[in-house]
Amino acid sequence: MPTLVPIHPKQRVCSRFQRILPVFVWDASVLEDNPITFPEIQALLAGVVLRSRQSSDQEQVLNLVLSAKYLLSLINGEQFELTKTTFVELHNLVACHEALEWGVFRGEGQETNYTPNVGLGELGRYTPLPTATQAPELNRVFEEGLVVLEICPPFEKSLAFFLFGALQPFFFDGNKRTSRFMMNGILMSNGIDAINIPANKAHVFNEKMVRFYLTKNATEMMIFLVDCHPNAAQTYAHNSNLKFATQLDHHQTES
């Protein structure tokens, strides 16, 4: 992982995130196969109700908007923390009325038996830890994961948390979305620009995530996320160690 990344004042990284919010929301909705277009996203942000679109699609977009604004409020107020509390608060907004239950880990609400699988297309399905009453195993894994992540530099920690939250789905739905908000919360609270996964990279993102679920090897996805960072070129220029350069060359050759 790159160890040197551009650091900016928090006000600057938050202003950038606020500025790209329509694009961020649209790109995130494309990753969820939401059919709402970018102009329609702009209309929703302006308070327009889209009568030609399903209410569930519109609600998913508005949930992303609310989640992004809440994340900004935490960072601006110096209140963002890498904790379960922040994680479930964001999920409570991201997956409201979409997930089977929202704002609680699987098993901490009324549903204590159903375990969702992650579809991998023709390669089958990925089965996570089973749902259990009060989620003792999920809470153990989460707490131990945070201990391991604590020793990582902020940039690596942020990317790793996203993959951690995707691999160990703590919620019934909305895990990747919520984990990406946490990833960006870690970044922005440390003065690092947020990462956005462009809509035109959705297919590549999905292919690499499938391989990640199958192999548990995060290298390919970590490099992909570094590539998506707005300061990627500057980051590469400042991290010329042999191991990172070798991974990058391999990644570019594959692309």
Q: Is the four-CA dihedral 37, 41, 46, 50 of positive or negative sign?
A: positive
User: Which is more confident, 32 or 2?
Assistant: 32
Q: In the structure encoding, which two tokens stand for residue 226, read together?
A: 């570094």
Residue 169, pLDDT above cutoff 60: yes
**Section 167-171 average pLDDT:** 97
- Rounded CA-CA distance 129/137 in Å is 8
Determine whether 35 is exposed, middle or buried from the number of CB atoms within 10 Å of its CB (0-12, 13-18, 19+).
Answer: exposed
Helix (H) or strand (E) holding 85: helix 84-94
Distance CA 31, CA 206 (A): 8
Q: For residue 246, name the pLDDT band (cuts at 50, 70, 90).
A: very low
What pLDDT is recorded for position 234?
A: 80
Q: Hey, which bits of 88-151 come out as E strands?
A: 118-119, 125-126
In sequence order, the β-bridge partners of residue 126 are 118
Determine the pLDDT at residue 241: 57
pLDDT digits 0-9 by tens, 204-234: 999 999 999 999 999 999 999 999 999 888 8
Dump pLDDT digits (tens) for 117-147: 999 989 999 999 999 999 999 999 999 999 9
* DSSP structure string for 3-60: S------HHHHHHHHHHTHHHHHHHHHHHTT----HHHHHHHHTT---TTS-HHHHHH
Segment 36-86, tens digit of pLDDT? 999 999 999 999 999 999 999 999 999 999 999 999 999 999 999 999 999
In tens, the pLDDT along 109-119 reads: 999 999 999 99
Length of the chain: 255
Q: Where are the domains of the chain?
A: 10-106+127-254
User: Alpha carbon of 125 to those of 117, 119, 171, 176, 221: distances in Å?
Assistant: 6, 5, 17, 16, 19
Overall average pLDDT of the 22-42 stretch = 97
What confidence tens digit (pLDDT) does each residue in 184-200 have? 999 999 999 999 999 99
Q: Is the confidence at residue 252, as pLDDT, over 50?
A: no
Q: CA 110 to CA 28: how far, in whole Å? A: 29
Rounded Cα distance, 126 and 235, in Å: 33
Looking at domain 10-106+127-254, its CATH architecture is Orthogonal Bundle (1.10)
Q: Look-up: residue for tokens 């950038």?
A: 16
| pLDDT beyond 50 at 242 | no
Q: How confident is the model at residue 248 (pLDDT cuts 50, 70, 90)?
A: very low
Q: Report H helices in 113-241.
A: 136-149, 154-167, 175-189, 202-215, 219-228, 232-238
Contact, 117 vs 86, CB < 8 A?
Answer: no
Distance CA 77, CA 185 (A): 12
